[in-house]
């Protein structure tokens, strides 16, 4: 069994999926590279280590972070559950979320004690 190493992004499932998928793709590439170098085990190991390090850093981190930044902001500003989840960690942003997230505004409200609850 192979452990799948990926990052999770709580505001962007798309970025989480991309991170996991890119790791699996890099792993499959490394297995393919190793199979193609059946004559040279040392070459296959070196290529596998380099391929894994490069693919994981480039795809699973940098591109997924960019996707998460763009997609996460969009989710927070347009979807009620992501707006609610964001406000659990950043209660000071309530006025901003209410002003940009219409779905959140319809579904949730702030109570007198500062808690956010469903309408």
Q: What is the pLDDT along the chain (119 residues), one digit of tens a residue?
A: 566 677 889 999 999 888 887 777 777 777 777 777 777 777 677 767 777 776 666 666 788 899 999 999 999 999 999 999 999 999 999 999 999 999 999 999 998 888 888 88
Backbone angles phi, psi at 106, to 5 degrees: -75, -30
Res 61: pLDDT? 77
Distance of CA 119 to the CA centre of its chain: 30
DSSP state of 39: T
110 Cβ neighbours under 8 A, 6+ residues apart:
94, 116
Res 4: pLDDT? 66
pTM of the full predicted structure? 0.75
Res 113: pLDDT? 86
Res 107: pLDDT? 93
DSSP string, 8-30: --TT-HHHHHHHHHHHHHHHHHH
Q: Kindly tell me the burial class for residue 107, based on how many C-beta atoms sit within 10 Å of its own C-beta (0-12, 13-18, 19 or more).
A: middle
Res 40: pLDDT? 73
């Amino acid at each position: 069994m192979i452990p799948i190493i990926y990052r999770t992004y709580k505001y962007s499932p798309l970025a989480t999926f991309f991170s996991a998928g890119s790791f699996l793709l890099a792993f499959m590439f490394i297995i393919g590279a190793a199979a193609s170098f059946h004559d040279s085990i040392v070459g296959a190991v070196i290529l596998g280590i380099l391929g894994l390090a490069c693919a994981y850093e480039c795809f699973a981190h940098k591109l997924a972070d960019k996707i998460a930044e763009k997609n996460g902001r969009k989710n927070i500003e347009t979807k009620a559950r992501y707006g609610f989840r964001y406000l659990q960690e950043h209660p000071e942003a309530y006025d901003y979320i209410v002003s940009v997230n219409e779905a959140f505004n319809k579904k949730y409200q702030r109570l007198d004690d500062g808690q956010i609850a469903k309408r």
